[in-house]
Amino acid sequence: MNPTRTLIIGNSGSGKSWLAERLAGHLQVPWVDLDSIYWLSDEHSIARPRSESLAMARIAACQERWVIEGVYGWMVSELIHRATALIWLCVEDEECVINIRQREAKRNDNDELLIALLDWAGSYRTQEGFSGFAAHQRLFEEFSGSKLRLANRKVITDFINALPHTPLI
């Protein structure tokens, strides 16, 4: 696998950021979270205009080395031609919901943004559009470079733990 420019896709709560942070650290390359590009605020309540988000993502993907992760299939589809590797975290929706609940444990259960995120993660496999399961599956199947499909937290952790102690590049 050539991880020089790795894209990581998957459902909210699947572990994309966790994996991306560790892989980028191991490879000593920049890590780009597409949430930080798409959303204007940390609360994920105000989105940037799509054209602005896409322009920012393209600038990030023009670098020689990176790990970029996100759920946004419409953005990923514009960057994938630059990727040398694609990792799809194809974790069960129920596990993603549990992960989000653990990650967001301090938030109020009545928080509208949390409720929306949990609803999204719980319906990933039936989502229409560019960021659901079917769209990610198409991206994965059509990608001609190195690719991995990781289906649960243990497999994701095993992947990171199996990396050589020296950077791969």
**pLDDT of residue 166 exceeding 70:** no
pTM: 0.91
Long-range (24+ apart) CB contacts under 8 A made by 46-53 are 50/74
Is 58 in contact with 78 (CB distance < 8 Å)?
A: yes
Cα–Cα distance for residue pair 161/169, rounded to 1 Å: 17
44: left (phi over 0), alpha (psi -120 to 50) or beta: left
Considering only CA atoms, which of 168, 6, 5 is closest in space to residue 87? 6
Secondary structure letter of residue 154 according to DSSP = H
Query: Which of 20, 130, 28, 157 shows the shortest CA–CA distance to 86?
Result: 20
166 within domain boundaries: no
What CATH number has the domain bearing residue 97? 3.40.50.300
Q: In this predicted model, which residue has the larger pLDDT, 23 or 166?
A: 23
Tally of domains within the chain: 1
How far is the first Cα of the chain from the last one, in angstroms, to the nearest whole number?
Answer: 11
Q: What is the pLDDT of residues 97-152, one digit of tens each?
A: 999 999 887 877 777 888 889 999 999 999 999 999 999 999 999 999 999 999 99
163 lies in a domain? no
Is residue 164 in a domain? no
Asked whether residue 116 is domain-assigned, the answer is yes
CA angle in degrees (0–180, nearest 5) for 83-88-91: 165
Mean pLDDT, residues 56-71: 97
- Is 96 domain-assigned? yes
Residue range(s) defining the domain that contains residue 143: 5-158
Residue-level pLDDT at 42: 66
Residue 93 lies in a domain: yes
Of 61, 62, 73, the residue nearest 16 (C-alpha): 73
Ramachandran angles phi, psi of 71, nearest 5°: -90, -15
